[in-house]
Amino acid sequence: MRKLKTAGTALAVTAAVLGAPETAGTAFANSYTFSAIERCINHLNYCVYMSAHSTYSNSQVWINGKVNCHGTHTTGITWCGVGGGNGTVDLYIGVDWYWTNLVGTTLLWERMDLIPNHVCTSNGYNSDIYVGIGHLWASWYNAVYTCEHFLHHD
């Protein structure tokens, strides 16, 4: 009789775990997303583009591969990557660069914070810039802003 009760208890526990697929699936499911930002200076064709494919669960975000960065009229992208470590609750990606034809040697930067469940924040160098071409002051705009565009999940 004792063996029957033990076997019955084991079956009941197994049935309870298997009978709740939403809970088990949600805890371990991964969502695959794409995020991108392109920052440009108005009046000019100067833009820098940063993008990444990522995976997130309910507690972590990971970059799949690497952060991709490129720009027009750049004199150099000095950093493009993940800041603060991969596999964190809030994953920061970013790019630092210089552009030709800018007065001075201001280091420009952009950051994007990827947070699970399609939430992103971004910030960067937002001050107006004095451009040597045409002697004008230029400001920024976002030509592309894609926050954790859903691709698929496990």
Indicate the pTM of the whole model.
0.73
Question: CA neighbours within 13 Å on the CB side: how many for 20?
Answer: 9
Instruction: Give the CB-side neighbour count of residue 44, counting CA atoms within 13 A.
Output: 26
Beta bridge partners of 96: 79, 109
Q: Which of the four pLDDT bands, split at 50, 70 and 90, describes residue 44?
A: confident
Question: Rounded CA gap, 74 and 33, in Å?
Answer: 28
The answer on pLDDT for 4 being more than 50 is no
- What digits encode the pLDDT tens for the residues 99-127? 766 766 678 899 999 987 778 888 888 77
